[in-house]
Amino acid sequence: MSLIRSSLVLIAATGAAAFPYNVRNSTDSSLNAFIETETAIAKQGVLDNIGADGKLVQGAAAGVVVASPSKENPDYFYTWTRDAGLTLAAVIEQFNAGDTSLEPLIQSYVDSQAKLQTVDNPSGGLSDGSGLAEPKFNVDLSAFTDAWGRPQRDGPALRASALIAYGNALIKSKQESLALDNIWPLVQNDLAYVGQYWNQTTFDLWEEVQGSSFFTTAVQFKSLVEGNAFAEALGQSCDACSVAPQILCHLQDFWDGSSVVSNIPTSGRTGLDANSLIASLNTFDPAATCDDVTFQPCSSRALSNHKVFVDSFRDIYSINQGRGAGKAAAVGRYAEDSYQGGNPWYLTTLAAAELLYDALYQWDQQGTLTVDAVSLSFFTDIIGSNVTTGSFSKTSAQYTSLTSAVKTYADGFVSIVQEYTPSDGSLAEQFTRDAGEPASATLLTWSFASFLTAVSRRNGEVPASWGASKAGTLPSQCSGETVTGSYVTPTPGSW
């Protein structure tokens, strides 16, 4: 089913070094110590779950990111395109930050995806692109053929973004031909997929509801914008990329004035969902302004949504007792969740922190912070009713007090993760709502990856700009325009 009827108007057009801020909370030595220990554990936790050498995932092919070693209740011994793409984005960041030992692993991920793109599966095949949005595969790269919520159309976009990040690193180090031969063919397929299918309904990132998903739409938009620049850098062209403004236009449909309604239709939920926070982590551009249209982390929309989203968990988990408005709280996927206990998740609680670290980075870059009618309630909660709307420059006392409150609030979410992380540092998927004990899949790869990106942002380390500031212009009318793609059979490269 189409999300947007063609020709219809659905809406009105509407790597830095040390932490640069003067708000570093160096008094919290327990948190800093936890972060240091846990960072090493999280790095290893990711590596342990990637084949062929990962010590917890015997049988996984080279470069295959297994979601978790857990084989029952739940069985996560598969590779999901989404989890893998997000995990590789974190690994590539570490590589770009200087850990060159990761390069062979990144290359084996690329090669594994070259094989995977050709595997026929229940979503389809490569000839018309449809198979690219199959959500998960067996760890030997064969198709998973049981019933599942498919297709999931965020996968190709997330994989393209991870591949582009590595491709850009190759270009930077004057290895353009490797990017062209080994990366571009895969990226081209995934971008073609996005351009052709973005206007079709999808299963959301939680694999539960079918419709339009804010996260999926956001990551699709970003992939086409950075894909276009990547194509140009390689002397190629991206036909699919021309629909990026239409995807951005559709993204505006999810905003309700104070929060993001993550799924359309809402399927009987409020729509408040970590979907929206994780989307802003992915559209984060360190060079962007606090742009509402792309839901940048420092935008008023993202901050208002953050408040309303976090508030929706304060009263439903008993571990949040005493964590009232303005205090960090444990958060899950969405309040109505009942999967595996419907508990708080590590990766969503870390997303709540990461979004605020991103925002701090952006205010620092811009040298100013603006409070407006939309973001006022976010700031009032964490500072008090004396906050007023206005623009505050970096040299002002207001700026210092606002940013230091945001930093303390952000650290609070990491402190919650600290409190409910077992002493061996393992991060499962969830922690129980009543006792804060690890629950559901153990040693979840995505939990570890989310810890690494949150901590990088806390340290002022950010990914490269993807061009958000040039891409935020909306067409005067939304349309459901798509581009039929052509798909090439990629071959694993020689490096």
For ligand NOJ, the binding residues in 206-245 under the rule CB under 6 A are: 206-208
β-pairing, 210-213 with 263-264?
Answer: antiparallel
- CB neighbour list of residue 86: distance below 8 Å, 6 or more residues apart: 158, 162, 446, 449, 450
**Contact (Cβ atoms closer than 8 angstroms) between residue 179 and residue 165:** no
Going by their DSSP bridges, the two strands 263-264 and 368-371 should be labelled as unpaired
Nearer to ligand NOJ, 56 or 462 (CB): 56
**Judging by DSSP bridges, how do beta strands 438-439 and 430-431 pair with one another?**
antiparallel
CB of residue 28 to ligand NOJ, shortest distance in Å: 30
- Kindly tell me which of 74 and 467 has the beta carbon lying closer to ligand NOJ: 74
**Are 190 and 132 in contact, with CB atoms under 8 Å apart?**
yes
Min separation Cβ 149 and ligand NOJ, Å: 7
Q: Smaller CB distance to ligand NOJ: residue 62 or 274? A: 274
Q: Catalytic residue at 434?
A: no
- How big is the site for ligand NOJ, counted in residues (CB under 6 A)? 12
Burial 7-40 (b: 16+ CB within 10 A, else e): eeeebeeeeeeebebebbbeebeebeebbeebbe
CA separation for the pair 293, 269 (Å, rounded): 24
From CA 320, how far away is CA 486, in angstroms rounded? 51
Among 4, 21, 66, 82, binds ligand NOJ (CB under 6 A): 82
Taking CB under 6 A as the binding criterion, the range among 78-86, 180-188, 240-248, 480-488 that sits at the site for ligand NOJ is 78-86
Q: Is 448 in the site for ligand NOJ (CB under 6 A)?
A: no
Classify 389 as helix, strand or coil: coil
Two structure tokens written together for 366: 């811009």
CB closer to ligand NOJ out of 206 and 255: 206
Q: Judged by CB under 6 A, does residue 341 bind ligand NOJ?
A: no
**Which range touches ligand NOJ (CB under 6 A), out of 39-47, 201-209, 268-276, 310-318?**
201-209
Residue 353 φ then ψ, to 5°: -70, -50
* Token code pair at residue 115: 């094989």
Tell me if 285 contacts ligand NOJ by CB under 6 A: no
Q: Does 372 bind ligand NOJ (CB under 6 A)?
A: no
Which of 46, 65, 67, 92 forms a contact with ligand NOJ (CB under 6 A)?
67
Stretch that binds ligand NOJ, among 3-11, 52-60, 80-88, 478-486 (CB under 6 A): 80-88
Catalytic residue check, 207: yes
Q: 343: which 2 tokens?
A: 């508990």
Is position 336 an interface residue for ligand NOJ (rule: CB under 6 A)? no
74 binds ligand NOJ (CB under 6 A): yes
Instruction: Map the footprint of ligand NOJ across residues 130-169, applying CB under 6 A.
Output: none
Q: Which of 111, 204, 354, 481 is catalytic?
A: 204
Catalytic residue among 207, 208, 336, 437: 207
Residue nearest to ligand NOJ (CB): 339
Give which of 149, 264, 274 is closest to 207, Cα–Cα.
149
Per-residue tokens: 434: 């009543």
Residue span 418-447 as binding mask against ligand NOJ, x where in contact by CB under 6 A, dash where not? ----------------------------x-
Task: Report if residue 350 touches ligand NOJ, rule: CB under 6 A.
Answer: no
SS (H, E, C) 127-166: CCCHHHHCCEECCCCCECCCCCCCCCCCHHHHHHHHHHHH
273 contacts ligand NOJ (rule: CB under 6 A): no
Contact (Cβ atoms closer than 8 angstroms) between residue 67 and residue 76: yes
Measuring CA to CA, which residue among 361, 366, 486 is closest to residue 23?
361
Residues identified as active-site: 204, 207
Residues binding ligand NOJ (CB under 6 A): 67, 74, 76, 80, 82-83, 205-208, 339, 446
